[in-house]
Structure 1
Amino acid sequence: MPYFKHKNADLYYEDHGQGNALLFLHGASLDMRQWNREVRHFSKSCRVITLDARGHGRSTLPPGKVMPDIFWQDAYALLRHLNIKSAAVCGLSMGGHTALQLAAYAPEIISALILIGTPCTNKFNLYERVCVPINLFSLRLMPMSWLAWCLGTFLGNTKETRTYIKNTVRSMDHGNFNRTWKAVTGMESRPLLSRVKCPTLILIGDRDSLTGRQQDFIHRSIPGSCLATIENAHHGTNLDNPEQVEKEISRFLKECSHTAAP
């Protein structure tokens, strides 16, 4: 199985297809299986790479504090490991935030950016500044079975999405879950938005109450970005409505290739 080592973690990835590189990054508490359908679809025309973030899926999480910037560094290290010089990157939630930081810190390697249900901060307004610390404390006390039920119930809009989220969260180690979530809620990218220069597509589920309030802000802050709404989708947007997500991404990548053509 394909692993590479970076900063004391064994990171699992998969590499499918040939063509222009397209990297998919999953959300917190999920794993690369979130993108199974997209892998099948886009690997027909692209080189599709997926990564289990450290502490998720088959990737390990070394002892100690998890730093908020480690996720984009892991993704960048994977692209370097595979000797990829240019890639489009797509992420949902934590994966989108990771992709955003990757585009800001490593613009020479990111050709296009796709953000789905992505926050740029966890301190966007008074509500988040008050509730995020309370939620972090509550997560430490709740059994994983409860956490799995809550996240699956409130973040998915279909039975299949809710089942996948519940099963994936339930499989995580509680300590790893808490350490990862503390790092995720410490990610901050508002000052980085103006540094994103590559073509950017922002997708948001019409029922996503978790990150919906930030999408217009990100759209306004990244010059030339496009914003589209995915129908009948909650925070697990690509799982709830994969057909429309694939259609929007395909159209965007096609436009990017035409723009880049001489």
Structure 2
Amino acid sequence: MNATALRGATLHYDDLGPSTGLPVLLIHGHPFNRTLWAPQAEALTAAGYRVITPDLRGYGRSSVTPGKVFLSDFADDLAALLDHLDIGRAVVGGVSMGGQIAMEFQHRHPRRVQALVLSDTSAPAETDEGKEFRNRLADRLLAEGMDCYAGEVIDKMLAPYNVAALPDVAERVLGMMRATDPRGAAAALRGRAERPDYRDTLAAVREPVLIVVGADDVYTPVADAEAIHRLVPHATLVVIEKAGHLPGAEQPGAFNRALLDFLTTQLARHAGMEG
């Protein structure tokens, strides 16, 4: 693990695989950390890719910025991290909130995106109801901590049947949630409540896009992934069976096959067309 100071925060991150490999930046969701992507990092580095998995500010071992952290703050942090690593362009992927950060990155830094990977996420702006919910939840996490919340949402983060069927995965996901600093989680919730609409951004994307969703995701169901696919008709949509909101953790084999197939076919085809 590495750390660097940037934009008023200290970001911890893993930089794995050969330095000459195609860079793949993977962005975790709320309220997790970079280790969520461990199965993908292992598969990608074995295939020769360079994988960068950061702890977003306020999560994992990165420093906390209390108050409100916008998706644009996270996106600019990641651009600064790529600068620090002397990486011009990368495949940028994220799950849930991480997918929205990837969309924000596409909006703010489009020339740095070689391809997008959007897992279990949604593009429209937050609703009034959603804003109220996220701000109330932020208040609650600051008052109570993460433990009760983690227990309440584990069967939504994972498909309910996987909580019992995959106890090691459930424990790993619970551990990440419980270890998150409530101040960091609350700041991200308040910023995410103000998120813009990314549909125009997605409609303008010409780079390859992979959309992945768990078949039994209740937070961002298959319909949300299909809506993104309609915006980006040249994208690849993959539905992962026997998975909920975190298919990369629940069904890593199927997720990794979809990701590697995308990188070796769609991305290579796009590169050939550019050439």
Structure-2-length-normalised TM-score? 0.87
Alignment partner of 1:5: what SS?
A: strand
Match of 1:184 in 2: 192
Q: 1:257 to 1:119 in 2, by over 3 A?
A: same
**Where do 1:8-23 residues align within 5 Å?**
8-18=8-18, 19-23=21-25
- Distance (Å, rounded) in 2 between the aligned partners of 1:241 and 1:39: 14
**Where do 1:47-66 residues align within 5 Å?**
47-66=50-69
Give the drift of 1:122: 4.9
Q: Which of 13, 32, 35 in structure 2 is aligned with 1:33? A: 35
* C-alpha contact 1:151 1:165 (8 A) present in aligned 2: no
- Distance (Å, rounded) in 1 between the aligned partners of 2:110 and 2:138: 35
Match of 1:219 in 2: 229
State how many pairs are aligned: 258
Instruction: Identify the range of structure 1 (35-44 vs 1-10) with the bigger mean alpha-carbon deviation.
Output: 1-10
Is 1:259 the equivalent of 2:270? Answer: yes
Q: Which of 161, 174, 177 in structure 2 is aligned with 1:169? A: 177
Q: Which of 65, 79, 93 in structure 2 is aligned with 1:76? A: 79
Match of 2:93 in 1: 90
Give the drift of 1:242: 0.5
Deviation track 1:61-116 (CA, whole Å, cap 9, x = no partner) reads 23443223111111111111111122111210111111122123222221111110
Match of 1:110 in 2: 113
- Distance (Å, rounded) in 2 between the aligned partners of 1:131 and 1:99: 20
- Distance (Å, rounded) in 2 between the aligned partners of 1:202 and 1:147: 28
Give the drift of 1:132: 4.7
Structure-1-length-normalised TM-score? 0.91
Give the drift of 1:173: 2.3
- Distance (Å, rounded) in 2 between the aligned partners of 1:63 and 1:185: 15
Q: 1:141 to 1:63 in 2, by over 3 A?
A: closer
Alignment partner of 1:29: what SS?
A: coil
Give the drift of 1:135: 4.8
Which runs of structure 1 show a deviation greater than 6 angstroms over 4 or more consecutive aligned residues? none
Give the drift of 1:175: 2.5
- Distance (Å, rounded) in 1 between the aligned partners of 2:83 and 2:17: 18
Alignment partner of 1:108: what SS?
A: helix
- Distance (Å, rounded) in 1 between the aligned partners of 2:158 and 2:86: 36
The alignment yields a C-alpha RMSD, in angstroms, of 1.8
Which amino acid is 1:134 matched to? F
* C-alpha contact 1:92 1:115 (8 A) present in aligned 2: yes
Deviation track 1:8-44 (CA, whole Å, cap 9, x = no partner) reads 1101111111211111111111001001111111112
Which amino acid is 2:45 matched to? S
Deviation track 1:194-238 (CA, whole Å, cap 9, x = no partner) reads 232210010110000111232122111124111110011100111
Give the drift of 1:134: 2.9
Q: 1:95 to 1:247 in 2, by over 3 A?
A: same
